[in-house]
Structure 1
Amino acid sequence: MRRSHLIVTLEETTLINAPIDRCFDLARSVEVHLAGNIHFGEQAVPIGGVTSGLIDLGEQVTWRARHLGIRQNLTSAITAMDRPAYFQDTMLRGAFRFMQHDHYFRFDEDGQTEMKDIFRFAAPIPILGRIAEVLLLRRYMQALLHERNVVLRRIAESNDWQRYLSATEQ
């Protein structure tokens, strides 16, 4: 990654009234990811990676969805993990020049899990990409991240989490 490419950093912090292990595992669930992106027609496709369950260190998943009117594939892998405090997914192939998502989890004194996302990306086309980033991509990606976290929080705080995790994964 050359320094001449603008890397955008987005942050989102979500407080969840649920145990840290549950939140950590739900954040790695392919099905929860899909539930948080349902209106984009997103699916996990069988292209040399997992398509269901919890994605683990070293595993890949390829997502297919329509974003900004364009159908695209994005393959990412879990490139770092320290359960239940942290994991990182990194784009291996896709429309962006660079994309990396750090997920941090901390259980606080009030009995809540703080889930903090640090999401970094670089637009696909250097010059036009910078214009698109300023006008569109930053807001679009922040909205996607927020929407995903709202769905994850709803699932974690209700009994719905049991549909996604077995009792031993909780």
Structure 2
Amino acid sequence: MPQFEITTVLSVPPQRAFEACLDVEAHTQSMAASAERAVAGTTHGRLSLGDAVTFQARHFGLTWQLTARIMAYDPPRHFVDEQERGPFKRWRHAHFFEPDGTGGSIMRDVIDFASPLGPLGRMADTTVLGWYMPRLIRNRNTYLANLLR
């Protein structure tokens, strides 16, 4: 199962970064390049433990839906969202926040995912999604860093 980690320095304290990452509107705005929008579940405001949201977006010329639920929640240090329904065999996104010692925070995203379809899915994971997914998360984090200045 592929896993990758992205570390981003933010100029705001962990509490503010934690809250921004759980904000549905901030998420959809950060993914505007793929026309992402919340279409079911908690579609506005801030997510909390047990909340689910279904996002719809275009990737690779196709429209996809992914329903994720907040499975772990420890403000302002950590939360985890996991796919309940969607294109992946498995999708788990752990978010970690810690002070950077200067009033800002270090945000760490740890993503575990796997595509369906056995060997074809593993090939897609290593050849396409292995570079596409980290780029998507880096772009989202750049948006958040600019939003939180």
Normalised by the size of structure 1, how large is the TM-score? 0.85
Letter of the 2:27 counterpart: H
Give the superposition deviation at 1:68.
Answer: 1.3
Deviations 1:11-59 (A, max 9, x none): 000001112111000000111111111011111002xx10011011000
- Provide the residue aligned with 1:69 in structure 2: 61
| 2:39 equivalent among 24, 45, 53 | 45
| 2:13 equivalent among 19, 22, 32 | 19
State how far apart, in whole Å, the 1-side matches of 2:78 and 2:2 are: 21
Name stretches of at least 5 consecutive residues in structure 1 with no aligned partner: 1-6, 158-170
CA RMSD of aligned residues (A): 0.8
Q: Indicate the structure (1 or 2) with the bigger Cα radius of gyration.
A: 1
- Provide the residue aligned with 2:78 in structure 1: 86
Displaced runs of 4+ in structure 1, greater than 4 A? none
- Provide the residue aligned with 1:152 in structure 2: 144
Name stretches of at least 5 consecutive residues in structure 2 with no aligned partner: none
- 2:23 is equivalent to residue 35 of structure 1: no
State how far apart, in whole Å, the 2-side matches of 1:152 and 1:56 are: 19
Give the superposition deviation at 1:124.
Answer: 1.9
Normalised by the size of structure 2, how large is the TM-score? 0.97
Q: Could you say what secondary structure the match of 1:18 adopts?
A: coil
| 2:98 equivalent among 70, 93, 106 | 106
- 2:53 is equivalent to residue 58 of structure 1: no
Give the superposition deviation at 1:110.
Answer: 2.1
Q: Could you say what secondary structure the match of 1:10 adopts?
A: strand
State how far apart, in whole Å, the 2-side matches of 1:33 and 1:132 are: 25
State how far apart, in whole Å, the 2-side matches of 1:118 and 1:20 are: 17
Aligned length: 149
